[in-house]
A and B are shown apart, each in its own frame.
Chain A
Amino acid sequence: MSALPVTEADLQAWVDAALPAARRAEVEGWLASQPAEAERLGAYLEQKQALKSLFDPVLDEPLPEGLAALASPPPAAVVERPPKPLLERWSLQRIAAGVLIALVGGMAGWMTHDRYPSAESLAKSPLSLPRRAAVAHAVFSPDVRRPVEVSAENEDQLVAWLSKRLGTAVRPPKLGTLGFELIGGRLLPGNSGPVAQFMYQDATGQRLTLYVSTDNATNQDSAFRFAKEGQVNVFYWIDGKFGYALSAGIDKGKLAQIATAVYDQLDRK
């Protein structure tokens, strides 16, 4: 019988009972004549056993609450989306916006050669406003105890503070006629500077946030656009250096109505 030479990998696999029966027999035949190797492998078997005895009790320890809770999905808003969304996850508006921007970017690129970023990166940048707004909404709106930094009771202070930090006058629109009352606001980091977030709530506890950034110096004005990030619907538009995004987990029609009211009020300021 011409057995293959016994390798170190064979010996390790022997310890782990990972050899086919025939090979196992060959290795054991070889070990019978190699007492030093047999002893070494014996020590490895003991190690395995000792490690199991040492750590197996962890299996029976009661799970800490935090870990047991994580057997279920955390709130949906926190779940990341695939980096490259599938076609069906893109709303028509987003595709249209992307095509338009790609066209504009293409023309600009053709005219300016390599002085500006690629059409692809131009097409991506407007998506970052609704995404950032939706994430800020998802993070702060479920917060029961501290949804805002400064509450609406001190609206004057809130307005003065956010205006000062943003370096321009910002004022929360009044949405009482639509059933939403201001509960306050907070300051957040944006792409290149501070961003304000105003939060509203209706009688049922449904929350709505208006995200106001002032770092859109390079963007053209835009009409309303709609984006959906997980559970959060977002209407957003760009007005000069201001970028606005209205986010809530309410249906698109209702949100559009509120977005229109916000737009009208801001336009009249």
Chain B
Amino acid sequence: MDSRAILAEIPRLRRYARAMLGDRAAADDLVQDTLERAWSRLFQWRPGSDLRAWLFGIMHNLRVDQLRRPGLSTQSIGDDDLELPTRPTQTDALELRDIESALNHLPDEQREVLLLVALEEMSYADIATTLGIPVGTVMSRLSRGRERLRLIMNGDTANARLRVVR
């Protein structure tokens, strides 16, 4: 595997991990773990296949492992979290932060699909392969994730809350 090819993917892995985890240090740790696992699983890499999809798949699996591990705190989606503060003014920067906090209220599985579409501009089929789920599931998570994000951004917490149940 070509070091330069890997190096080229690192910024993308970081961007996605940052968006998934919110926290810079935790995100870089995840990227580091991903690269270490990639090197140790080099024998699973099929030359000529999509390096990016392979790396994102490893990162996804690591994250799933982390979330399954007991005792690790996961983001809770309590009703109170969805009470969004209202502001007298809106600037672009605040809107961006707004979407960041709204994003954090999505379940992991929806956020993941949403970010692979929005940031990585991956095809639905590639996302299905990367996450190891059927394309139909990608579509339904994307659809639900986008709609929930829209409702939260609109301050429509009542409807967003109704859909908290997965």
Contact = CB atoms under 8 A, between A and B. Distances in A.
Interface of A: 8-9, 12-13, 15-16, 18, 40, 43-44, 47-48, 50-56, 58-61, 63-64, 66-68, 70-74, 78-82
Given A16-B117, A51-B103, A72 B3 contact: yes
Please give me the 9 A-B residue pairs with the lowest Cβ-Cβ distance, nearest first: A70-B35, A71-B7, A58-B15, A51-B118, A82-B43, A59-B11, A48-B118, A71-B6, A50-B99
Contact of A50 (B40, B42, B95, B142): B95
15 contacts: A8-B139, A16-B124, A18-B123, A51-B99, A51-B115, A55-B15, A59-B11, A63-B11, A66-B32, A67-B10, A67-B32, A70-B32, A71-B4, A73-B3, A79-B39
Interface residues of B, number: 43
B119 A64 contact: no
Given A12-B139, A51-B114, 13 more contacts: A8-B143, A13-B124, A16-B124, A18-B123, A18-B124, A51-B99, A58-B15, A59-B14, A59-B15, A61-B14, A70-B10, A71-B35, A79-B42
Given A12-B143, A67-B35, A58 B150 contact: no
B153 interface: yes
Given A52-B118, A58-B11, A59-B12, A70 B96 contact: no
Contacts of A63: 10-11, 14
A158 B47 CA distance: 49
Nearest to B145: A47
Given A54-B99, A54-B100, A81-B43, A43 B15 contact: no
A71 B40 contact: no
B108 interface: no
